[in-house]
């Protein structure tokens, strides 16, 4: 079987498996590796230290698979037109995380089936399936494989699919005929994504400062408080953010995914307040195999406190008072800030009571700020 015939079989199988995009790229130095190194040097990765630790491995896909010759890149649509809100409408969740399936498991299973076609056609070949975890710039190779172009919001965009799709791939030592790279940028003069970001995370077109991105703040910033100047900009985003994609004209015609595991299934998330009341054991039992496990219970409770504070709705005072007694100083601090956003006789009483028992200096600072925040908040 010729390399071209193998490539054709792989693409046919990819379509059968439900991948809406598939292309092949040669193993080479990524186009944006120098930009990545500068981005890391500028500190834009924030607390994602693993990227700096692996920066040399990003320089070539052989850092993932020695003797690699080709990369098979696929895209899996995860769009759904449903609201991002939790069950009672308090707190939005990024579309990719709203389904019942962990996308890593779903795509990895499909890619293993796709790799089986490769191994059957080329016995003895080597391959490695990758889904979002290996030191590989998938977006670069997806563009080289013809799957789309880089939008000003840094997302890969495809004319037919928009940007609501996961990327995955197979690295192999089989040399396959590459597809034509996508060389044209179709964003034109549009800057809607840049203007819509409530935390001003874009330093410039095509340049994202992750430290200001809501997705980073709610997912990747673990073990730390969310910087106070960015909290109100989180609005009601509990986990992740879709704003820069929602406003993109190329997503106007996005069609719903056919993967049942990626369709909204958020019945287990009653509302954001539930993360302030749930125990560690309950959290692990309920969310172990979901994206929420990445920020863990502490991170989700911290996020919940902030968006409840942003809501200004006094019906959440009781839940926030529970957060004020949490074992995590991060949750107590965020809850104190939130109670300060709705300061009244009751919340002042809760904050003062907590102040007498609090030993953590950072939480005490949050409480003192909250107690003196009413006048400033009214000015906003």
Where are the chain's structural domains? 3-79+98-172, 199-234+272-379
Cα–Cα distance measured from residue 9 to residue 21, given in angstroms and rounded to the nearest whole number: 14
Q: What is the pTM (predicted TM-score) of this model?
A: 0.92
pLDDT in tens, 233-248: 999 999 999 999 999 9
Marked catalytic residue, from 132, 246, 265, 360: 132
Asked about 132 being catalytic, the answer comes back as yes
Question: How do residues 25-59 score in pLDDT, each as one tens digit?
Answer: 999 999 999 999 999 999 999 999 999 999 999 99
Tokens for 264?
């909204």
pLDDT recorded at residue 378: 45
Q: Kindly tell me if the per-residue pLDDT of 185 is higher than 50.
A: yes
């Amino acid at each position: 079987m010729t390399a071209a015939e193998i490539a054709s079989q792989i693409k046919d199988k990819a379509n059968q498996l439900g991948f809406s995009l598939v292309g092949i790229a040669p193993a080479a130095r990524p186009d944006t590796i120098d930009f990545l190194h500068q981005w890391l040097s500028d500190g834009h990765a924030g607390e994602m230290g693993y990227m700096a630790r692996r920066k040399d491995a990003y320089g070539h896909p052989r850092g993932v698979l020695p003797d690699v010759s080709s990369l098979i890149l696929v895209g899996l649509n995860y769009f759904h037109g449903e609201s991002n809100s939790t069950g009672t409408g308090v707190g939005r969740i990024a579309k990719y995380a709203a389904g019942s399936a962990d996308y890593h498991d779903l795509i990895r299973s499909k890619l293993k089936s796709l790799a089986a076609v490769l191994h059957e056609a080329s016995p003895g070949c080597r391959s490695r399936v990758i889904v979002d975890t290996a030191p590989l710039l998938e977006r670069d190779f997806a563009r080289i494989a013809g799957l789309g172009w880089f939008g000003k919001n840094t997302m890969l965009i495809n004319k037919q699919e928009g940007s609501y799709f996961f990327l995955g791939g197979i690295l192999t030592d089989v040399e396959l005929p590459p597809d034509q790279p996508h060389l044209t940028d179709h964003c034109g003069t549009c800057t809607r994504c840049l203007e819509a970001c409530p935390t001003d995370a874009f330093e410039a077109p095509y340049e994202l400062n992750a430290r200001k991105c809501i997705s980073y703040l709610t997912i990747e910033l673990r073990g730390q408080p969310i910087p106070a100047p960015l909290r109100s900009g989180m609005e009601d985003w509990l986990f992740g953010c879709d704003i820069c994609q929602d406003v993109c004209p190329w997503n106007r015609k996005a069609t719903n995914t056919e993967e049942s595991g990626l369709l909204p299934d958020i019945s287990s998330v009653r509302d954001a307040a539930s993360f302030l009341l749930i125990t560690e054991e309950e959290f692990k039992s309920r969310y172990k195999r979901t994206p929420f496990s990445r920020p863990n219970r502490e991170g989700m409770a911290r996020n919940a406190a902030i968006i409840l504070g942003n809501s200004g709705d006094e019906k959440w005072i009781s839940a926030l008072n529970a957060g004020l007694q949490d074992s995590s100083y991060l949750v107590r601090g965020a809850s104190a800030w939130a109670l300060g956003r709705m300061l009244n006789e009751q919340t002042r009483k809760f904050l003062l009571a907590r102040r007498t028992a609090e030993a953590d200096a950072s939480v005490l600072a949050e409480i003192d700020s909250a107690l003196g925040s009413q006048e400033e908040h009214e000015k906003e």
